[in-house]
Amino acid sequence: MTNRLDNIKAVLLDADDTLWENNMFFLQCIEWLCKTGRGMGFCDKAVLTILDSWEKHHIRLMGYGYGSFEQSLLATVKQLVMTGRYYSPGHAGLRKRALKWTAFLRTHPIIFMLGVEETLPHIASHYQTIVVTKGNHDDQMSKVQRSGLLPILDGVEVVHRKNVGDYISVLKKYNLKPEETVMIGNSPASDVNAPKRAGIRTVFVPHSKTWHFEVEPIQPGGPETIHVPHFAALRDVLKLPM
């Protein structure tokens, strides 16, 4: 039987890869990038290493979001062209194609994770329910609006990094007690370990395509962390009527 949470008043919810698919679209773009790199003599690992180092650089400068990823993608394409062993006419216009990919990422269709459409309205009718997501404000709000979920939510917070300070700010803003609050999400780093440090209870809902920057061991100790196989299992964990 699944563990259940007692004495919860507020539910904080991650959005990307918890409520809807997100990283799968980035992976499609990265597959295109690897294919492009292969045509210039790079193995996939070399392409991914270049992209990773540009991403770390731009996240430090600009924070998370599509703008940051766009700069990293463009810098990677440029580096591949400048240092590749081969060049073909097919490599002309790569910058434009990279920008088409990031335009697609900014407007991708909302594909809900299994059980979200059935379960979330029940959560929202029983608990104060606030989406906590990180990245660029306008980009993240665009997805929330496109999802059609805005009317049933009590709030949406787009934070800079999802670190312990960001969670403490959310608790303060909504006047929530950490022990009466649960954060639910797919990222061990951002949705479990960071809120745990703020005293918040957590539910980990794994996603097979979680961004590798977000993967780390879940910290033992501290407020409880419940693992569920999928979003629909929250109905049991949050003791919602069947």
> Which positions lie near Mg ion, rule CB under 5 A?
14, 16-18, 186-187
CA–CA distances in Å: residue 167 to residues 21, 69, 72, 207, 215:
23, 24, 28, 22, 19
In the bound complex, what is the minimum distance in angstroms from residue 64's beta carbon to Mg ion? 11
In the bound complex, what is the minimum distance in angstroms from residue 132's beta carbon to Mg ion? 10
Q: What is the rounded distance in angstroms from the CA atom of residue 12 to the CA atom of residue 226?
A: 14
In the bound complex, what is the minimum distance in angstroms from residue 15's beta carbon to Mg ion? 7
Tell me which residue of 205, 200, 164, 195 sits closest to 180, measured CA to CA. 200
* Residue closer to Mg ion, measured from CB, 42 or 167: 167
Helix axes 66-83 and 94-107, enclosed angle (nearest 10): 160
In the bound complex, what is the minimum distance in angstroms from residue 133's beta carbon to Mg ion? 8
Are residues 236 and 124 in contact, defined by beta-carbon separation less than 8 angstroms? no
* Residue closer to Mg ion, measured from CB, 17 or 166: 17
* Residue closer to Mg ion, measured from CB, 18 or 140: 18
* Residue closer to Mg ion, measured from CB, 36 or 133: 133
